[in-house]
Amino acid sequence: MALTMFEKIWARHVVTIDEGEALLYVDRALIHEGSSHAFDSLREQQRAVFRPRQIFAFNDHYVPTTGRDKGAAGIANPDIRDMVLRLGANAAAHDITLFGIDHPQQGILHIVPPEQGITQPGLLMVGADSHSSTHGAFGCLSFGVGASEMFHVMATQTIWQRKPKTLRIVLEGAPGFGVSAKDLILAIIARIGVGGGVGHVIEYAGSTVRGLSMEARMTICNMTIEAGGRAGMMAPDETTFTYIADRPYAPKGAVRDDALAFWKMLPSDDGAVFDKTVTLDAAAVAPMVTWGTNPEQALPITETVPDPRDARDEVQRAEYQSAIDYMALAPGMALSGIKIDRVFIGSCTNARIEDLRAAAAVAKLGRAQVPAWVVPGSRSIQHQAEQEGLDKIFTAAGFEWREPGCSLCTALNGDQLQPGERCASTSNRNFKGRQGTGGRTHLMSPAMAAAAALRGRFTDVRELAAKG
């Protein structure tokens, strides 16, 4: 029987089934400062972490992105300092590997594991963050879990789940000039909606996906959650295998040979049946920007703010009007004319080296007209960018080069918008108050965000690059 990649991985991890739920074995679990409740539950039940070598901890959500010279002790906010120190103490007590604030590879939990080879095809991974779907770019099943579920994983290395349906999104064609993976995923969400993937694991396929780098694939899988999907996946191929090779946790020698043989069996079989299929022409996608308060409310930069009167029904009409009111926009406004107050280039969606290169290529064409932050996703990315001179390009253009972390994406670490501030952001969510109470967030690619910084308004990066 022809099987999907999801079905193959799911079947390999089923321990038992009870009343429609499957107990699944978990290969890797990723935690961060917000996972303290799981440790509290372990203490309350006098349990130890069952397999600590398969749990990895990260300082990312709460660490500040400036003033890090004194490590955790130098964090001014006592609550944040306590969370960072508590994760360190819990990790040490349970013999868990910690990529802490002082670690040379510190960074975001969806960026460091691929860098280190912790993320591999065929695994079942869970993370204490919804964007754990990022890791599915490597051909594994990865999704976010809550505190009680993470406690169960840490205590038993298993998790109970109901089997989701499957949705295949086929991307065909070559993206045009100035169009990135961020534009592709925003176009997908605009097409299927923020509820389009609910109850499904999404497999991305097609010639476009096969032509993407691993970093671009991670960007698309990362925002699967914004389409309502349980997880996002892409078939592993030679691009995947080359990326993983020689990384610290990657299999070596004969073990690697066995792993490769297994990895090559994972892609969906010809004739495998998906519950739904959607096809998108990547060549027709333009640079995208969100205008509203959810990722579905996205349009090409060449378009205008929609009129609620043109909505398909009363529900959408009310959503449009609420978004327009909150974002302080007006129907018919050209997206390319919207002025901004701030730019953020970072997050687990777009803070990898390719993202920074793309942004730097635009930044060198001018000088920032508004405050603009560049936050690498990890120490490794920070060091590589500095070796390539990207930090100097940014600072020469008036951008601020910061330390690795989630930063303004989560607004949990002291980095946040002020009420009424409008931000061009490479992050993944634009809900009301996501980046700070009263803040207005517009999602776009790193190149588009850099272009907005240079002009002080939303700008079609294709025009700016052509003039540059």
The domains of the chain are located at 5-161, 163-284, 303-467
What pLDDT does residue 70 have? Answer: 85
Q: Say if residue 235's pLDDT is above 80.
A: yes
Over residues 161-183, mean pLDDT:
97
Superfamily classification of domain 5-161: Aconitase, domain 3 (3.30.499.10)
E strands, 63-221, in order:
97-99, 124-127, 141-144, 158-162, 165-172, 200-205
- pTM as predicted: 0.97
Over residues 375-396, mean pLDDT:
98
CATH class of residue range 303-467: alpha beta
Tell me how far apart the alpha carbons of residues 42 and 128 are, in angstroms, rounded to a whole number.
16
Estimate the crossing angle of helix 446-455 against helix 181-192, to 10 degrees: 100
Does 5-161 match 303-467 in CATH topology?
yes
Q: Say if residue 143's pLDDT is above 70.
A: yes
Q: Which residues are CB-neighbours of 57 under 8 A, at least 6 positions away?
A: 30, 31, 32, 35, 87, 90, 91, 96, 97, 98, 99, 100
Q: Say if residue 468's pLDDT is above 70.
A: no
What pLDDT does residue 129 have? Answer: 94
Over residues 16-36, mean pLDDT:
97
Q: Say if residue 306's pLDDT is above 80.
A: yes
Superfamily classification of domain 163-284: Aconitase, Domain 2 (3.40.1060.10)
What pLDDT does residue 465 have? Answer: 77
What pLDDT does residue 178 have? Answer: 95
Q: Which residues are CB-neighbours of 130 under 8 A, at least 6 positions away?
A: 144, 225
What pLDDT does residue 164 have? Answer: 98
DSSP 306: P
Q: Say if residue 162's pLDDT is above 70.
A: yes
Over residues 334-340, mean pLDDT:
96
Over residues 344-373, mean pLDDT:
98
What pLDDT does residue 464 have? Answer: 86
How confident is residue 73, by pLDDT bands cut at 50, 70 and 90? confident
More confident residue, 93 or 465: 93
Over residues 1-30, mean pLDDT:
97
The average confidence (pLDDT) of the chain is 97
Over residues 180-190, mean pLDDT:
98
How confident is residue 69, by pLDDT bands cut at 50, 70 and 90? confident
Q: Which amino acid is at 136?
A: G
Tell me how far apart the alpha carbons of residues 77 and 62 are, in angstroms, rounded to a whole number.
10
